[in-house]
């Protein structure tokens, strides 16, 4: 436990060393003005009107409610200068480095290799855009929640090992129930998307049909005629 705490502290430290200078930087002139300091909903901070806007808007062609809410929270806490926005991005990136370490530690049981992978991630040049560009808040937020989900799954899977025999006895019936529930939910989502979206291409309709059409695992899926499909070639 002490080693893990030391590694987590070290990951946070190297992230601050690598990216701490951003706390003194300004906005990026590409998208930051439109999305942040010239957007009255963001500069107005958290309010009932702005929160409702965040969940309903497709501003600039994007649906980013959590990104908008986090930017509004920054404006409420730190004002509309660039520094608070930058430090929040840095904080999320440091948290992501720690979560990545915990994910690999849980998955591999190797503490030092997991620490190395997380350290490389923390200071890798490909992370600069996501951390330095305020509009890329959506990237660090996506990474944060994705890694949290993976870590939760790994801990759940490990807990099942304590009840492996019970799980094996009931897994077949449970799998059928889970498959039916997931298939029904997916079919509903695809149907809602079909109704609410713009007309889609033939390939997308074929994909949706293939996903929600049940097949017998013991039989091969029927072949689809692709003779008229310009994207399929022999």
- pLDDT band of residue 60 (cuts 50, 70, 90) is confident
Residue 218 confidence (pLDDT): 47
User: Are the C-beta atoms of 89 and 138 separated by less than 8 Å?
Assistant: no
Residue 199 DSSP class: P
Count of other CB atoms within 10 angstroms of residue 136: 20
Residue 6 confidence (pLDDT): 93
Residue 214 has pLDDT above 50, yes or no: no
The two structure tokens encoding residue 67: 């990104």
Residue 42 confidence (pLDDT): 93
Residue 227 confidence (pLDDT): 52
Tens-place pLDDT, residues 120-129: 999 999 999 9
Mean pLDDT of 11-30: 91
Mean pLDDT of 127-148: 92
Residue 28 confidence (pLDDT): 86
Q: What distance in Å separates the CA atoms of residue 114 and residue 124, rounded to the nearest whole number?
A: 15
* Range of lowest pLDDT (157-166, 177-186, 224-233): 224-233
Mean pLDDT of 71-86: 92
pTM comes to: 0.68
Report long-range pairs for 100-104 (Cβ below 8 Å, ≥24 apart). Answer: 100/147, 101/7, 101/8, 101/11, 102/151, 103/147, 103/150, 103/151, 103/154
Residue 157 has pLDDT above 90, yes or no: no
Whole-number CA gyration radius for the chain: 23
Mean pLDDT of 81-85: 91
Q: What distance in Å separates the CA atoms of residue 114 and residue 147, rounded to the nearest whole number?
A: 14
Buried b (16+ CB within 10 A) or exposed e, 163-179: eeeeeeeeeeeeeeeee
- Among residues 139, 153, 66, the alpha carbon closest in space to that of 102 is found at 153
Counting beta carbons within 10 angstroms of the beta carbon of residue 135, is it exposed (0 to 12), middle (13 to 18) or buried (19 or more)? buried
Tens-place pLDDT, residues 170-208: 544 454 455 455 555 655 665 565 555 454 444 444 444
């Amino acid at each position: 436990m002490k080693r893990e705490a030391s590694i987590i502290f070290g990951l946070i430290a190297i992230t601050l060393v690598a990216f701490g200078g951003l706390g003194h930087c300004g906005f990026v002139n590409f998208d930051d003005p439109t999305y942040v300091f010239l957007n009255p909903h963001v500069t107005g901070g958290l309010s009932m009107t702005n929160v409702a806007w965040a969940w309903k808007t497709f501003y600039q062609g994007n649906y980013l409610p959590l990104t908008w809410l986090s930017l509004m929270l920054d404006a409420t806490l730190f004002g509309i200068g660039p520094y608070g926005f930058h430090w929040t991005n840095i904080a999320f990136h440091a948290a992501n480095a720690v979560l990545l370490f915990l994910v690999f530690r849980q998955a591999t049981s190797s503490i030092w290799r997991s620490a190395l992978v997380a350290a490389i991630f923390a200071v890798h040049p490909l992370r600069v855009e996501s951390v330095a560009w305020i509009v890329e808040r959506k990237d660090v937020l996506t990474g944060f929640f994705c890694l949290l989900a993976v870590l939760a799954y790994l801990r759940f899977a490990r807990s099942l090992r304590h009840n492996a025999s019970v799980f094996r006895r009931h897994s077949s019936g449970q799998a059928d129930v889970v498959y039916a529930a997931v298939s029904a939910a997916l079919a509903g989502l695809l149907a809602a998307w079909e109704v609410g979206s713009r007309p889609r291409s033939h390939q997308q309709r074929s994909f949706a049909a293939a996903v929600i059409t049940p097949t017998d695992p013991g039989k091969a899926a029927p072949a689809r005629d692709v003779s008229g499909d310009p994207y399929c070639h022999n």
